[in-house]
Every structure is written in C-alpha cells, then in structure tokens.
A and B are shown apart, each in its own frame.
Chain A
Amino acid sequence: MKNEGISNAGRWLLNRRDFLRHGGTGLGGIALSCLLAEQKLIGADKSPVRPAWSPEHPNAPRKPHFTARAKNVVVIFCSGACAHLETWDYKPELIKRHGQPMPGQDKLITFQGENGNLTRPHWEFKPRGKSGKMISDLLPNLAGLADDLCFIHSMTAKSNTHGPAENQMGTGFVLDGFPSVGSWVSYALGTENQDLPVFVAIPDPRGVPQVGPNHWNAAFLPPVFQGTPFNADKPIPNLETPNSISPGAESGSRDFLRFLNDRHLAKHPGDSELLARISSYELAAKMQLSAAEVSEFSKESKATLELYGVNDSNKLKAGFAKNCLLARRLVERGVRFVQLFNGAYAMGEGVGNWDGHKTLKEQYEVHAPILDQPCAALLKDMKARGLMEETLVVWVTEFGRMPTFQKGANGRDHNPHGFTVWMTGAGVKKGFSHGATDEFGYKAVDKITTIYDLHATILHILGIDHERLSFYHNGIERRLTDVHGKVITDLLV
C-alpha cells in the first residue's frame, strides 16, 4: 500500500470535486444557495446565511459576506472586571468630589450591597501621546500606546454578576449554552492554516476565568468550531504521542490504521464521513508538529523575549508574557481567532483577577504589572511585524466598577452600567474615543454601547453581517447578536 505513493483516502480526497458533482443535490446545492445569498448581501436582504461548511473540511477557508477590514482577531480578556475608573476613563469631577456621596444615589444597593462615598482613582491620570488622551499611571506601557488605541467608554453589560456577564462578553448571551464569538468566527470563515486549530484560547497562567470553557465552547454549533485551549505552559491535551510509543511504533500503527481504514472505505465507497475521519488523522499528525513548533520560542530573538518580559523574575508576569508571545506566533501562522486571558478565578475574589472589592489598591498593584508590559509588547511587536494590518485586537473585561467604594471596604463593587473597552489594529481608528460615561463614570450617557454592538462591530470588521450569520438551533436561526446589535460605524476606518 505504502509503495503506491497515495492511499485510497488520498485518491478520494483528490476526487472530491467529482464526488461533490455526483452529490450535487447535497453539499453542492447548499454551497450554491449560500453563494447566491451572499451576492444579495449588499441589498437590504437580511435573510439568514448559514456558511457553506462541509464535514469533510470543516475549517476550509470561507469567504466573508463582504470585503473584510481584518482577517484575524485577538481578544484580550481581563477577568474579574478591571475598573475603568482606575485605568482608561478620566473623570475630573470624581476626583473633585472625592469622599462625598454620589448625588441622587442615596443608599444605592449594588452586587455586594450598600455603597459608600465617591472615591477618586488611586493612580494619577496624565495626558498621553499626541492625542493627549488621559490615562492613569496604573498601566504605563499600555498608556504609552494611546495614539494607537480606539476606546469605547460607553460600554454596558446586561448582568452585574461575573458568570452571566462573562457569558455575555464571550457568547452574546447571559445564559449558559451559547456559542462563543470565536466559534462563530470559525464557523463563518474557517482558517487558512489547516495545521493549527482555527480558534485558540490561551488561559492565564493562574487558571481559567469564571465561566471558563464557555468563552471558547461551540455550544450548539458543531464542536469542530470550538476553541482549543492551551497556553505556553500547558500544551494541547493529548497532543504528544505517549512515551511508550516509539517513533517506529507510531508510524507502524499509522500505516496499519490507514491500511485498515482504506480497506474499510473500499467496502463503503462514497461515504464521505469515513473519508473525513481518515483525513482527520492526517490533520492530527500535522497539528502535532505545528502546535509544538508554535509553542517553541528558541528562535525568538533576545530582544523580543525581553520586550515581552518572558524571563521576568515575577513568575506570573513571565507566564503571561509567554502567552502574549504565543498569541503573536499563532496570529503569524494564520490562526483566525486568539483569545488571551488575563486573570483567573480559582484563587478567590480579587486575588487572581481584577475583582477589587475590598482592597483594590493592593490587588491592582499585583495585577497591573502582569498585564502591562507583556500586553503592550504584543501590540508593539505585532505592529512592527506588520501583523496589525490584518489583525484586530480587542481588549475587554466583563463590566466596570463603581465610582464609589463599597460601604466599609476599600474597593469598588460591580457596575455594568458604564465601562471601557478598546480596540486597535486593522479596521479601527487610532487615538480615538467613542462615547462617554457621566461625570462620575457611573453610567454610560453618550453613545451608549452594548456588547451586541461590540460583537456586531467585530464581525463587521471581519466582513461578516452580524444580522445574517446564522445557525439553526431548536426553532430559531440563532445569531451571535440575538436580535440586537448595531455596528459602531463611528470608529471604523
């Protein structure tokens, strides 16, 4: 068999065109109808479009609905709700009225209970770059990149609890069981690099965020579109051939397996699922090489390693730095969607993440250095390598925090009514700010923006109409944005 140079399966793969032609009523038909649907896209037709994916090549690249501004996405998620008022949202009135009750909000009850008085940020805000954007000293490296960032200061969330709010940021819905943004994007676009997963989630060195896998689950989308979680320390599970299997044993068993499968296929010609399964073993073998290569940093220059802080004495910072470098390497190799997590929940409230309820200052002094240099390095490095031309980077957190301190504590409670996220890279304006919260940073008041809008905008930048990208599940053509969402055209270039 081996000597014939090409396996039965290989021949079947080559003949796939013929196969599809013969089966014209099946997949070909679907493809055609989708193509037709896509051509109508410019009009007002908002009928659902289900991407023409095939089980044989689920991740084959697919065309967007219209010309894309970006090809790839990196989402940086700060778990625990990073306080906008300590970082990106400058509120002079809050500083001025420090220690006074928030007007009109007497006895306000939020997530953990009663609130105390307005409290000024712990870090000084200064003008940055040419834009003069006011950003605090908490994240000095990121602040230095202000001229590249595009802020949305009027973001709002539907829930003030981590679980549902993370669900919403990650999947569009506050409930469990909905597909993640990355799964939708994988489903819509596939990938250009078949040797790596189409969608990678990089958990923080400290663990996963509150709703963990919901951030990368495919839910009711076909599981092939779910994110593959791994980071610089923890490779893809079961990626490596076990030690007890020698290279000879591995190739011997693969040959034997192909032999068995080819004979089986010969008895069942035309059953494409069998073929797909044979090729999935070939893809797995390629992935073993590529996924190992992408996590291997020995060819990175010393300057690059230093830029990120990969060898920093702060182990957590070094761990996150490695993850940031991994993110760049994944994007470089054509991975469509990368999620980079900063913070985890397993260590408890505020200890391992940005959930600063009780001792915000002490906790943020720990978390900020872990995020700041590595994340800024990722942006600089991607820009220097030209990756930003085709990559959209989105920095998010599940909601904001209060302008007041909690009664009897030195931290801020949850606040979904107004907070900041930012974008940078392909498709968005630089040094730009959209929307605003009120004078204390409590509620979004100008150009109020929802997570639906954010998701609609991400899809739009990728060339996808969020109102049309659809998957049928139990009675509904489901969308990432449910029945909501407006593209924030203001910030598009």
Chain B
Amino acid sequence: MVLIPYLFAAAAWGQKNESEKISTSAVLIDFTTDIQPLLKDHCVKCHGANKQKGGFRLDEKIAALKGGENHAPAIKPGNSAESPLIQFVSGTVPDMKMPPEDSSLSPEQIGLLRSWIDQGATWPDDGTREIHWSLKPVSRPAVPSIANRQSQRTNPVDAFIKEKLMEKKLKQSNEADRRTLVRRLFFDLTGLPPTPEEVNAFERNNSPDAYEKLVEKLLASPRHGERWARHWLDVVRFAETTGFEVNTPRANAWPYRDYVIHSFNQDKPYDKFVMEQIAGDVLGEDAATGFLVAGPEDLVKSPDPVLTSNQRADELHDMVSTTASTMLGLTVGCARCHNHKFDPIPQTDYFAMKAVFEGVRHGERKLKTADSEKREQELSRHRLRLAEIDASIEELEPLAQAAYIRTNELRAPVNSRRNVERFVPLPVKRLRFTIVETTDAEPCLDELEIYSAEEKPRNVALSAVGTKALASGVYPNSDIHRLEHINDGRHGNNRSWISNERGKGWVELEFPDLVTVGRIIWGRDREGKFSDRLATGYRIEVAQGSNDWKTVATSADRQPHKPGAKEQAAVNISGLKPEQAAQLTRLLAERKEHESRIAALSRDSLFYGGIFTGSPGPTYRLHRGDPMQNREIISVGALGVIPVKFEKPSPAGGVVIPEKLTEDQQSRLALANWITDPANPLMARVMVNRLWQYHFGDGLVNTPSDFGANGARPTHPELLDWLAAEFMAPTAKTAQPWSIKHIHRLIVNSTTYRQSSAMRKDGFDADAGSRLLWRFPPRRLEAEPIRDAILSVSGRLDLKMGGPGFSFFEPNDNYVRVYAAKKDFGPETFRRMIYGTVVRQRPDGVFGVFDCPDGGQIAPKRTRSTTPLQALNLLNSGFIMQQATFFAGRLEKETGSDVGGRIRRAFALTFQRPPDRAEMQMAAKLIREQGLTVFCRALLNANEFVYLF
C-alpha cells in the first residue's frame, strides 16, 4: 500500500496531532484487506470466538464496536487518540499494553489502525464473517430452462442436474432397462426385491405411466416405512440397549421404531415429525419422544458426586448434540467445552439448548394409547383383588415371635420382594425398623408399609397421610435411593432407601397420631429386579411415648436366608391346618394369575421414551464443559445464528394449552417450534439432502449431519435450495407442505434417477464418483436389504409388522450383559431386519460386518466396505446355510423336477432375469455334481445379488 511509509513515520513520532493530520489525508483504509488480517493475527487469539479476555472481542463487528467490560467503547470512530484500543496497542497506558508480552504491533500496524479509526472505523456489515451458505435463507432458485429441450418430462431435478453436467460437457446416460428399474425402485423404496411376477408385470406394462404407477404403489406399501425408518434410526443413534459397561436391554424401546415406521408410511409432514420427537408427550404422540433417549446411558451409578455429574452431563450432551445434528445438521455438541471452532455457535447456545432438555431423564414411562384408559381400569381391578388376596394370605401368616422363640415354628426366610410381619395389634406413635445384617453392602428397603388394625386396613406409613421418616443415614448423592422413598407409596429399586453403612442402618416412622397397627410389609425390591442388599437380620420396635421402645418382630424366628439360593416362597405352609393350607394354596394360585396379568398389562403400556421432570433445576454454563465448574445460569433457548425467535408457546398456541404444560414441556415445545419455523433454513435443507443421499448413495452435501463450515459444500446448491423450498411450500397442487413422499416422487420420477448405471469413460474421467450424476451410481446394498432379500428369496420372510423385535443373540441375563451371537435361527427371526433388536456395540453376528452402525454415535452416512469377513459370513454362517436349504426346497416345490425350470426360477428370484445359455450350463453342472443347495448358496453370494444398479 502506498501509504505505508507515510504512516510509519506518523506512528514513530507518536504525536497525536500529527497522526490525525496524516490519517485524514491518507488513502482510504480497507477493513477487509488491511485491518481484519491484522486483528486476526494479533488480537483474536484472546479477543475472539474462543476467548474474550475482558469480555472484549475483535472478530465480530457488533461486539468489537461495543467494547469489553471496561474501557468501552474501545474504538471511537473518528477519534483514534481517544480510542482505548489505540492507547493500549501503542503502550501509552501502563500495564495495559496490547498485545501483552513481547509481541507488540509494529509502528506500521498501529498506524493502520489509527487511520482506520480516524476515517470512521468502517466495518462492513457481515464483513465480520461471511454468512455460511447453509445459514442463509432458503430461496427458490429459478429452474434452468434447459430441461424442456431434450426431455418430455419437465422435472426441475433434471434441469439442475443437466445444467451442471453441461458445464463439464457431459450428458446423462440413457434410461436403464425395465428390469434394472423395477429392481432399483423396489430396493430403494421398500428394501426388498421384486418378485418375478412383479418384474414380469412391469416389463409387460406398456402404458406411458407404468413407472410412475409403480412408484405410487411402492410408496404406498407398508414395506416403504420399514425401509426408510431404518435410515432415520441410523441418523438418531437408535439402539435398544443402554451401552457402556452393563449394556442392559431396553425391552420397551421398540414403540419408537414403530412410530418412525408408521410416520414414514403415512407421510407424516416432516415438521410434525420433528416436533413430535421433541415434544410428543404434549402433541399426542407419546412414542415419538423415544428419540430423546435413544442414545446410550451409563447405568453404573455411584455415590461419587463427580462421576454422577459427569454421567448426567453426558446424557444431556447426547440429547443436545443428536437433536442438533439430526434436525439442524449442525455440530452443536462441539460447543460443550468452548465456543464452536468453525461455526458461529457460542458455548452459551449449547447450554441454552441443554437447558431445554434439563427435565429429560432416561427411563420408561406409561405410553398413552387409545386403550390406555381401559387398560388402567383392568389394572386397577386386578390390583384391588390382589390386595384382598394378600390380606387373606396374611391372615394365615404366623405371628412374629418377639420374645421366646419356638424353633419348630420358624417363619419363612426373608425374601427380597415382600415380607410380612404380623403381631398382636397395639397403639403406637412411632415404629423403628433396625437392620443389623444384610446379604451384602448397604441395606435397601424400597417401601415400608404399616397397616392399621381396622376392618379396612390403611397404610398409615405413607408420607401422604402425614407420617414422617427418619433414618440412621442415606446413601450419598443418589436420586433414586432417598429417605422419602421409604414411604412414598411407590415400589422398586428406583424409589428406594439405602443406608449409608454396610450391613446396617435404621429407619424410623412417626405417625401424626396414635394409631393401632398389627401388620408390616417390607421388601428390598417389590419389582423383583434386585435381590442384593437384603436385610437378613433386623428387629422392629414400636413406641407410644418418647423412649418406651418395645420389640414386636425380629428376624430371629425366621428360617435362615440361604445366600445365592433361588428366591424362597414368601409364605410358609408348615404349621397350618390342612384346610388352611388348602386355602393358602388356592389363594397363591389366584394371586399368581393376577400378578402375571398385571405384569402383562403394565409391560405393554410402558415404553422407553424418557421421564420428564416438570420443573428442572437451573442450567449452568460449565467452564470447559466440566460439571464441577459451574458458571452463570443459562436460561432455555436455541441458536443465535438462526434468525428465529425462541419463544415459550403463547396462550393462543392452537391445540396445546400452554398453561397446562410443565416448564419442561413448554421448553421442549418452544424448541420444537423454533426448529420447525420455516424461517429456519437448515431443517428443510438437511432433510432433503438426507433423502437425496439414500436414493443416490451420496448427498448433494456429502456430510449429511454437518452443514457447518467444516462440512462439505453442496455439489448442486441451487438444486438443494429448490428442493428445500419445494419441501416447505410445494408448487405442486397435490402436495402438502413438508411431504417427504412428495420429494421422493420428484427424485425417483426424474430422468436422472432412471438413468442406466453403465460405466462411461467420459463420465468417469470427469467425475469418477458420479457425484454429478452422469449415471445412476451403483452401490452395494446395506446389511438390511441383503438379509431381507435372502429371506424373501428363500420364501421364509415373515412380514409381521411392529411390536417387540427379535434377538440376534442367545438369551442371557448377566448383570454385565453377554451377547453371544445365535447360531441357530428360528422362524421368529425371519422378520425384516429392522425388527432385530439393536444391541449397542454389538451388531448382528452375520450381517453386522456389512457396515451396520454400532449405536454408540450417530451414523448419518454408513461406510460401504468390502471385507473377507463379509465373504466368510455369507458363505459359511448357519443362517446362510439354513436359508440356502429353504431356497432349494422352495425351488423344488415350485418348479417340479425340471432342472432348467429350477435354474430359471432361481435366477428370476435372485437376479430378476433369466439365465443365458452359458449360465444355464454352468448352473446345471453344479447342481448335477453338488446339489441344489450348493447352487442356491452360491447365488446368494453373487455380486449381482448384493449390488444395486
């Protein structure tokens, strides 16, 4: 720049009047070329996106001109001498020299800054940071006019694709043959091969809209949702175990899978689909919130507060980052410890989103379904009867022997579920349960029930009736083991009390008034999941006054508990009269019936969709993401970079009545509204790109869950925007806004999609990866369509939809779950692979190596690898041998004894085409020499079978 020597002189003199004179007469300073690089090199390390020392940053216009915590504004346009920035960089203020230490700005640089400020500190808008392409509003670009020249079809998709191809002097390939098209459509839209009959029908159908009709048929097929739901489940890291060390199954996670399948099948508007997954509990789609808790959770809890906080922070991190990557294509998770390195996402935005999910916990809750009420009624009938039976059984329970023990009348040993203590009723004010020995560790009681001696006994222990609980101590830092759980009327380990001392502890209940009691029921876990921490030695005392304790029952008259032995029966028959024994047996049998019915009814209605805390505690910004370093409180919100206001739902918010919502629900609904606002440019772009990716193998943007600065750029930005605009506000009259099937139609009906996949030298030389779509890019099928196709070809595919899945692994109930791959597969496993229970870390033993994600992190795009282990599994696994046998059996059954007929049928089933003469000969030879099954096994391994062209 010509003015450099001049400025150098000015700065060197350091004279205020001189510099003013100079700068006003100098050539205009350009912010972008002269100033911004200087700030970037010398200032933004401490005053930029990652650090803002003194609250001051120099990488963004608004923040820079506003100034920091002190000395603001640091830049006074038109007056460099009065600007603290200049005073600091020139070292005129002691102790405030900037940059600190040795790295001073050169006199030239200081001069540049002075001049720029004196000229008015022009900082162009957006000059701070060019708005990243994906964050710009979606506009509907004009469709290039070239489409109509060559093709009868006027599909805008083709126009955009052809325009790009023309730039590279490439043409599209010819349309693929009918057989290839029907196979492509079936696998792409339903994940299954067409039957030979379906292939023939399509090949023979000469009507001009035969193709479009087939597309409609396949989009309407229930198989379609099963295919496309699998893609979505990859994106949201869905799995049906907890992951980490114990990797416990989530038996009731499947309703979310069914919800996703159903949503794709019914073409649920995408905005609704997104909203329901974040706030389905409010929007009448309970199962949708399975999304929030589909990720891993570390079940190994500890009294260590650091560990507990870290675990919770990781759970919420999973929710924040998956929501953002799935719905927005942004890696918000990167801003957990610091401001995002590449995208304009400050750490505070991360915590604002975290605050939205603060009320969400992992766990099962009741699924509201159409028959929920009926179910509930039936449940309460069974529970009522159960209570009556229990009361009758307990009448037969021997009284506890508190004083002299008759050893021939010992009561049943303690068990972990439910123990009854009966004694002669007496009026009491307080009751104390003292534990002196346990099977192991600190003792646990899930509930202490104390019944009044009345015609209709009441549980007088409940805190709800005013009874107060006191204990020797409580297990530290636990949400699930708390003193108030001892008398909250709720059962199970998650609502229990655990002492803080190994092998001992006591609980005392004080009733609001003197009350006559004669029966106590206690257990370690009435839900029967845990049998450790059981009190084996105890005494129960009561008092009327302050210190007149009297023992009413102890463990001394019980038979000894046998550690490790199977849970003993809760009731002891010995010592009863024959008619009493008979009555007891009858009652126990009836009890069992009701119990199993209750279990069945409650199991079906529970699902893994998260537990919501209505008013969660505050969210703090965590310094460096460390849960031990709380900083300021952050309120709920979303990303500042997207120009949509984050608002709590207003009272006029349609179907939902916000006043009835909890704080947590309001926050999640607000986020759902915010994400789905049409002014958010990301949601539509990200989703149409995903759809494109699964049709063509690669997205227009090759990093489908990262549309940020570090992600890929779109190959066809205009097409992406046109599709996004069409998705939000379709021009086609028949289409609804946010219709996923509308986008499917646009894509698969295009000539681009219908092209042949044949290799072409000119295309390959210019674009080896076929990203410009001079052909349909061929690809290996994923694990699921391969397995489903094998079952379909063998004739054993079970198309039962929905409900709990099947397992690829041998049953096991170890605490740390052991997943041993099944060797023998029964018909229950012949369902589509999407119904195979997804075990985190452990994909299926046969097809997992075909790039199935492991459920640990999101998998927005599967790799497509080729390995010897895949070959070994497809050749030698029990599953393949079994299916090859079925396949051979099917051929024999369907074609009689003619070998030629069998071969033709086999080729039609696997390759959708007849064999040629050479193939016929080779196949016949193999069958003759080695049998039909060997031939079938070979077909299932062929490239033609597992590749899509």
Contacts and interface: CB of A to CB of B under 8 A. Distances in A.
Interface in A274-302: 274, 276-278, 280-281, 283-284, 287-288
Interface string A336-361: 00000000011010000000000000
A255 to B, nearest CB: 8
Contact of B868 (A249, A270, A280): A280
A283 B875 CA distance: 13
A36 interface: no
Contact of A213 (B331, B475, B705, B841): B841
Interface in A215-252: 217, 219-224, 228, 236-242, 244-246, 248-249, 252
A212 B938 contact: no
Contact of A476 (B300, B304, B334, B501): B334
Interface string B913-938: 00000110011001001110111011
Q: Which of A56, A163, A264, A270 has the most CB of B within 10 A?
A: A163
B296 interface: yes
A381 B815 CA distance: 38
Q: Which of B503, B703, B841, B869 has the most CB of A within 10 A?
A: B869
Contact of B857 (A178, A222, A346, A348): A178
Contact of A280 (B296, B334, B871): B871
A346 B244 contact: no
A264 B821 CA distance: 33
A161 B331 contact: no
Interface stretch (B95-103, B148-156, B650-658, B758-766): B758-766
Contacts of A241: 875-876
Contacts of B863: 220-223
Contacts of A269: 759
The interface size bin for chain B is: 35 or more
Given A271-B759, A345-B816, A475-B334, A224 B303 contact: no
B849 interface: yes
B488 interface: no
Interface in A317-334: none
Contact of A346 (B296, B302, B814, B881): B814
Contacts of B938: 253, 256-257, 260
Contact of A264 (B296, B475, B942): B942
Contact of A273 (B307, B325, B842, B866): B866
Nearest to B866: A276
B875 A474 contact: no
Interface string B744-778: 00000000000001110100111111000000001
A111 B769 CA distance: 52
Contacts of B565: none
B244 A176 contact: yes
A177 B243 CA distance: 9
Contacts of A265: 943
Contact of A256 (B310, B845, B878, B935): B935
Interface stretch (A18-26, A94-102, A448-456): A18-26
B298 interface: yes
Contacts of A287: 868, 872
Interface in B820-872: 821, 840-842, 845-846, 849, 851, 854-860, 863-872
B349 to A, nearest CB: 15
B694 interface: no
Given A163-B245, A217-B841, A274 B937 contact: no
A346 B935 contact: no
A408 B854 CA distance: 40
Contact of A271 (B778, B840, B841, B867): B778
A112 interface: yes
A256 B873 contact: no
Interface in A116-164: 159-164
Contact of A26 (B705, B768, B923, B942): B768
B249 interface: no
B303 A112 contact: yes
A210 B865 contact: no
A207 interface: yes
A212 B942 contact: no
Contacts, number: 267
Nearest to B879: A238
B764 A161 contact: no
B882 to A, nearest CB: 10
Nearest to B314: A175
B829 to A, nearest CB: 17
A39 interface: no
A335 to B, nearest CB: 14
Interface string B453-487: 00000000000000000000001110000000000
Interface string A472-493: 1111100000000000000000
B82 to A, nearest CB: 41
A246 B871 CA distance: 18
A222 B759 contact: no
Contact of A175 (B296, B325, B846): B296
A260 to B, nearest CB: 5
Given A211-B841, A242-B876, A260-B938, A274 B947 contact: yes
22 contacts: A58-B865, A166-B245, A177-B854, A210-B245, A210-B816, A214-B856, A220-B857, A223-B849, A241-B875, A253-B930, A256-B922, A257-B938, A260-B942, A263-B919, A268-B949, A271-B778, A273-B866, A277-B871, A280-B867, A408-B503, A474-B331, A476-B331
Given A113-B475, A261-B942, A475-B705, 16 more contacts: A58-B865, A167-B244, A176-B243, A207-B818, A210-B816, A211-B841, A212-B842, A221-B863, A223-B863, A238-B846, A242-B881, A256-B922, A256-B923, A260-B939, A287-B872, A474-B857
Interface of B: 237, 243-247, 296, 298, 300, 302-305, 307, 310, 314, 325, 331, 334, 342, 442, 475-477, 500-503, 703, 705-706, 708, 710-711, 757-759, 761, 764-769, 778-780, 814-816, 818-819, 821, 840-842, 845-846, 849, 851, 854-860, 863-873, 875-878, 881, 918-919, 922-923, 926, 929-931, 933-935, 937-939, 941-944, 946-947, 949
